Structure formats: structure tokens, C-alpha cells
Amino acid sequence: MNVCVIGLGYIGLPTAAMLASNGHKVHGVDTNEKMIEAIRTTGALSEEPGLADLVQRVLNDGALTISQEPAHADCFIICLPTPVLDDKSPDLSFVKSGVESMLPFLKNCDMLVLESTVPPGTTAGLVADMVRGKGFDPLGDVDLVFAPERVIPGNILKELETLDRVMGGLTAKAAERAKNLYSTFVKGEILLTDATTAEFVKLVENSYRDVNIAFANELAVLSEQFGINVWEAVKIANRHPRVNIHNPGPGVGGHCIAVDPYFIIDTAGDKARLLSMAREVNSSMPEHVVMLAEQMLGGLEGKNIAVLGIAYKGNVGDPRESPALDIITALENRSARWKAYDPHVKESPITLSSFEDALEDADLVIVATDHNVFRDMEPEAVGNLVKKKQILDTRNLLDRKKWAAAGWKVKLIGSS
């Protein structure tokens, strides 16, 4: 098939490359000129394993072309971001302009697939209306489908192949047609449904995780009160065959789990009570971390804090919605001085320091992200850099005995 993928971000680029390496002729589009240039020269902007190599291969053999302009195709796939605005309502402007940009290239019998996470009803409403506005019948002339991505950053290429997918069509024929296309690289099962159910399913998956993590975070706070270790308690509880509690931590970041529940909350209002509460609990965790830091130091004013990790999770370079950034804001609000180090983050919204510089003269080290490099740190070597050997582990990353043996005072979130 001739496929045009609109948006070459963390989903669009791997999807385009997978299609291109599986027999399709793919044209990738991104309005960001720098991004196009960077993909041309390096294959990919992110550190996603295997992606740069795959992209370079399909670019070199001509199966993938990229530019800032859409082109005629049999199938258009929209992979554009849908962030939330300051008031936490969904921002569909990127999706709208992406659809607008491809509409002049749409013809009868084409397929239009939306992969971006959207509020329930968007494909059958907004997108179908835009297609109708161009004179096409979205239930007959063209095939409209919502096909959410499910892949986890850090393991995208593998999960694109192996995970089951859901394809929601405006018609059964549309869903079936999308299945035919995606099954050229998806080895998992492809489940067919209607577009609004598929939209809901996507939001529910990430909301499930948000609620589960909020539960774990509440247990962490309770464990501190009860003088026990939440990590031990959760590990034992999870030995029950029907219990699967996630990990507590400094809060939930990233552009998916910390955002998607709002797509339901915004539409459902006060009916989404549990989802709202989960967001509240998870968003309160950075403050909780700073409160623990305050307790350790007996006050934060003028203290030097080294923050290790600003990415939203371990071994990725993405700092969006990261709880580490909220921890830093909360430290600033208490007049603490901070320096931050993250070896994975290339584009940072805050000033980053080198490892040595961040730790120099620190009164307290906060491990905010579970990068492997932090797990492997040697307590003696780090101890030579800091002013006070005090460390707050928000990820249960450190070997506490080892650090304590090297003279460190170690505090683990969710423990006495």
C-alpha cells in the first residue's frame, strides 16, 4: 500500500519505519523542519533502541521518504500529539491541523486512521465531520478508523510487533481494512470494534495504570505512618494470584498516563470520581518527596540538593510531565538550592549539571528517576563528592545496606 504517516514523533516514526520495512511505500510528514533534518542525518531523535538503524535502512532503500508536506496515498495515518491545556482539557489542535493538511490529498476509497489518543467520540464526531466537510461520506466513500498505539517508550519496536491491537472502525469494513494493513507487521492479535469503544479502551488502559499507581502511592504514605516498608508489603501482597499492585514512587510522569485520564475526566466531569482522585494522589507525590527531604534536613532553606534524574522514568530521555521537575519547583518554593543531572535527557527545560557538579557540596541527594546508571553508583565515590552523605531514594533503586555500610543515611520513600 501507499501509506502517508502524518507526525513523525515517538509513534509516527517507528510506525512509518515498520510499514516501510514490511513491503509498503511510506511517506512520513512532519511540520518540524529540524526534526526532518535530524531524521535524515541521524535516523531518529530519541534513544529508542533499534529505531535509528531501522529508519536509516528504509530511508536508504527508498521505502520511506520524509518531508514537511503530505502526498497522495491509499492510507493516511495520523500520529500527532494530543496534550492537555492548562485547564486540563484536551488540546486537539494538532490532530485538527494534521487532518486538514491531508484532506486535499484524500480521494474516494482511501483509508484514514487516527492513532492519537483522543476523547471518546472524536473519530465519529470531529474527524468524520472534517471528512464530510470535504464532500466525502465517512461511512462509504472513505474508511475511517481509530487504531490506538499501545507501545511503551524504551521497547517500542518490539511492542509494535508483539502487542495485540484494537482497531475501531466507523464501519466494520473499515476496521477490517485497517486490520489487513497493520497485520503486515503486527504479530499480536488485532481485535475489531467501533471507533468510540477503541478510543475508550485506549484511555481506560492508561487510567487503569494511573489508578493502580495512585493506590500504591497511597500505600506508601500509609506505610510511612505505620512504620513499615511499602515495598515489602506490596511484594508480599502481590504473591496473591489476583493482586497486582504497581510501584509507588515520586509521582506519575510522561505524556500518556499523567495526561490520558483527563480526557475522560474532562468529558465525564464529576462522574469520573476515582480517576480524578488518582490524578490528585499522584500529582501530590512530588510535594510528599520534598516533605521527606525537609524532614531529613530539618528545613530546606539554603540547603544544596542534588537531583539525580529528570526523565519521567528510567532509561528514557523524556522529561515531559516528569515528577522530578515538580520536585525541583517545590524545592525552589522552599528556597533550597538545587542542581540536577540526567545522562539520558538531551533537551531539558531546566539547566542540567554534570554528575560531579550536581553532587558537589550537596546536603542531600534525591534519586528521582530509576536510570540503571544510578543503581550502579558506588556509594564511596559519590560520598567523596557531597557535603553530607544523605540520600533520598524515591524509586527503591539503591542497595540500602551497601549505602548504609559506606556511611550514608538512606531514606526510602514508603518506609519508616
Footprint of ligand SAJ on this chain (CB under 6 A)? 149-153, 205-206, 209, 213, 246-247, 249, 252-254, 256-257, 312-313
Residue 411 a catalytic site member: no
The minimum distance between CB 154 and ligand SAJ, in angstroms, equals 7
Catalytic pick from 4, 75, 79, 256? 256
Q: What's the gap between Cα 62 and its chain centre? A: 30
Residue 202 a catalytic site member: yes
Beta carbon nearer to ligand SAJ, 24 or 313: 313
Catalytic pick from 4, 79, 179, 202? 202
The minimum distance between CB 304 and ligand SAJ, in angstroms, equals 25
Beta carbon nearer to ligand SAJ, 143 or 326: 326
Beta carbon nearer to ligand SAJ, 74 or 205: 205
Give the CA dihedral 357, 361, 367, 371, nearest 10 degrees.
30
User: Given strand 111-114, what is the order of strands in its sheet?
Assistant: 64-67, 25-29, 2-6, 75-78, 111-114, 143-146, 165-169, 190-194
The minimum distance between CB 25 and ligand SAJ, in angstroms, equals 27
State whether residue 390 is helix, strand or coil. Answer: strand
The minimum distance between CB 256 and ligand SAJ, in angstroms, equals 3
> What string of DSSP letters covers 108-169?
TT-EEEE-S---TTTIIIIIHHHHHHTT--TTTTSEEEE----PPTTSHHHHHHHS-EEEEE
Paired strand residues for 66: 28
Beta carbon nearer to ligand SAJ, 151 or 327: 151
Joined grid coordinates for residue 315: 532509561
Asked if 181 and 105 touch (Cβ cutoff 8 Å), the reply is no
The minimum distance between CB 147 and ligand SAJ, in angstroms, equals 12
The minimum distance between CB 117 and ligand SAJ, in angstroms, equals 6
Joined grid coordinates for residue 74: 491509499
Amino acid of residue 194: D
Beta carbon nearer to ligand SAJ, 73 or 256: 256
User: Which residues neighbour 239 within 8 Å (Cβ) at sequence distance 6 or greater?
Assistant: none
Joined grid coordinates for residue 102: 491531508
State whether residue 197 is helix, strand or coil. Answer: helix
**What is the C-alpha to C-alpha distance for residues 30 and 409, in angstroms, rounded to an integer?**
49
Beta carbon nearer to ligand SAJ, 165 or 339: 165
Q: What's the gap between Cα 187 and its chain centre? A: 23
The minimum distance between CB 387 and ligand SAJ, in angstroms, equals 29
Beta carbon nearer to ligand SAJ, 98 or 253: 253
Comparing C-alpha atoms, which of 172, 165, 168, 166 is closest to residue 186? 165
Joined grid coordinates for residue 35: 526534526
Query: Which residues participate in catalysis according to the annotation?
Result: 202, 256
